[in-house]
Every structure is written in C-alpha cells, then in structure tokens.
C-alpha cells in the first residue's frame, strides 16, 4: 500500500522525492530519490535499523550498495536512489 509521504517543510523539499510503502505483513519501505548533485542530510529516526540499498555516483553502474541505518540520520548522496526497508 502506498502511504502519504511528506518531504519536510510546508512546501516540501524540492531537492529530493520520497514515497513510503507498507506491506500487509507490516514491512515498511521508503523510496528516496535525490534531484541534486550534493548530499542531503535527512532525519529518518522512524527508520532506525532499516536495511538500505542505494545506487549513486559512487556505485557508478556497479553493484548496488548496502548499509544499515544505525542512528536515524541518513545522508542521501547526490543523484542517489535509495530504498530503506524495515520489517
């Protein structure tokens, strides 16, 4: 199911797009897409512990990068596409 998603502030953030999803089993996912060529720091404390899959300028067409969101702050790198998954 698609979940209503805000990108911060009254008018949203024009530098990235976010879309949240929730599965019937309770799994939550967040799709993030950077529209800029520099990093954006995001407060995602509700996704602490989430698995992160990301492609960006550093993966350069290579394999997807994987990480875990450990402290609730996520740096969305320039022109990145990331999916955060929390079960």
Average pLDDT for 60-79: 93
Q: Whole-prediction pTM value?
A: 0.88
Residue with tokens 């990093």: 39
Check whether 10 has a pLDDT greater than 70.
no
The better pLDDT of the pair 14, 39 is held by 39
Taken in order of first residue, the domains within the chain and their CATH numbers are: 2-86 (2.60.40.1180)
Residue 67: phi and psi, rounded to 5, are -155, 180
Average pLDDT for 53-64: 92
Q: How far is 68 from 72, CA to CA, in rounded Å?
A: 10
pLDDT of residue 27: 95
Residues 6+ apart with CB under 8 A from 76: 16, 32, 34, 39, 40, 41, 42, 82
Average pLDDT for 3-26: 81
């Amino acid at each position: 199911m698609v979940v209503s998603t805000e990108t911060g502030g009254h008018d949203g953030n024009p530098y990235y797009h976010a879309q949240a999803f929730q599965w019937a089993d309770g799994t939550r996912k967040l799709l993030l897409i950077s529209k800029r060529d520099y990093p954006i720091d995001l407060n995602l404390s509700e996704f602490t512990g989430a698995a992160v899959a990301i492609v960006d300028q550093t993966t350069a067409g290579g394999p997807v990068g994987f990480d875990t969101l450990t402290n609730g702050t996520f740096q969305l790198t320039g022109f990145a596409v990331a999916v955060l998954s929390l079960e």
